[in-house]
Amino acid sequence: MIVEEPSQESSQLRKPDSSLRPAPVGRRLLAAIYDVPAILTLLLIGTALVLILNRGARLDATALSLTLYRSWLAALWFAYYGFCWTRWGQTLGMRVWRIDAQRIDGSRLRWRDALLRFVTGIVAWLPFALGVFAAARDSEGRAWHDRWSRTRVTTRS
C-alpha cells in the first residue's frame, strides 16, 4: 500500500490569491441549501446509531438523555462542516457553487478555525440570516462569522 505524505503547502502561509473574489451572498445561501440534505442524512444515521446502541428502545425523556442526544447531533453537525472545511476548504454545497472557506492569509482552515466559524456561524444565521446578508454590504464581502473567525469565503472567476 502506498501512502502519500501530506504536502507542506497546506501548512505553509500563502499569499492571498488575487484572482479570488468574495463569494456573493446568493451563492452562500444556495450552498447552504445544498448542504441541508447531507446534514439531515448524517443526523438520521447518527440517530439510527443511537437507536442501535439503545437496542431499538425509545430514548428516555430525561433531561440528561435529551442533552446527550442533542449534543451528539450537534457534534455530528460540526463534524460535517469541520471535516469538509479542514480537508477540502469547502462543503458539498460550496463545491457545487465553486466557493470555498479559507483563513485570511489564504491557507486552509484548521480545526480551531472551523469550530470558531461554526459556532459564530450559528449566531450569524439565527436572526433571519442577518449576519450572512451583512456580507452584501461589507467592503470585503465578509459575513459576521467570517470576521469573528478571521476567515473568508471566496469564489474563482
Element (H, E) at 128: none
Least confident among 7-16, 23-32, 114-123 = 7-16
* pTM, entire model: 0.84
Mean pLDDT of 103-126: 96
Quote the CA–CA distance of 102 and 150 in Å, as a whole number.
9
**29-35-37 Cα angle (round to 5):** 130
Residue 101: which region, alpha, beta or left (left: phi > 0; alpha: psi -120 to 50)?
A: beta
Q: Which of 93, 102, 123 is nearest to 30 (CA)?
A: 93
Q: Which residue has the higher pLDDT, 40 or 5?
A: 40
Quote the CA–CA distance of 81 and 38 in Å, as a whole number.
11
Per-residue pLDDT tens over the stretch 34-57: 999 999 999 999 999 999 998 887
Percent of the chain's residues with pLDDT above 70: 87
Per-residue pLDDT tens over the stretch 118-151: 999 999 999 899 999 999 999 999 999 999 999 9
Domain ranges (residues) in the chain: 20-156
